[in-house]
């Protein structure tokens, strides 16, 4: 089971540099809430602190109306 502790002041070491988790988030242009939710969903610190991790928005993969395969409009 992954360790999901994610206190903002927890020291995190990446690339030989140690900062608090919230300092890493700020340095990488991430909101602390984003990092925290990634950790709760099972991401490692390295994954949670990657700014480019989220490449699409929440609803981008949804199919609506005429996009659904075989859908016909009446």
* pLDDT tens digits, 14-57: 999 999 999 999 999 999 999 999 998 888 999 999 988 665 56
pLDDT at 70: 57
Q: How far apart are CA 13 and CA 48, in angstroms?
A: 13
Q: How far apart are CA 32 and CA 24, in angstroms?
A: 9
Alpha-carbon distances of 34 from 4, 11, 21, rounded to whole Å? 14, 17, 12
- Pick the residue with more confidence: 9 or 60? 9
- Dihedral of alpha carbons 64, 66, 70, 74, sign: positive
DSSP state of 32: H
What are 13's strand-pairing partners?
18
pLDDT at 1: 40
């Amino acid at each position: 089971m992954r360790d999901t502790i994610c206190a903002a002041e927890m020291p995190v070491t990446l690339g030989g540099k140690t900062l608090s988790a919230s300092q890493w988030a700020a340095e990488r242009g991430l909101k602390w809430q984003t990092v925290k939710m990634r950790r709760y969903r099972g991401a490692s610190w390295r994954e949670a602190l990657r700014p480019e991790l989220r490449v699409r928005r929440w609803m981008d993969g949804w199919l609506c109306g005429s996009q659904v395969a075989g859908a016909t409009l009446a």
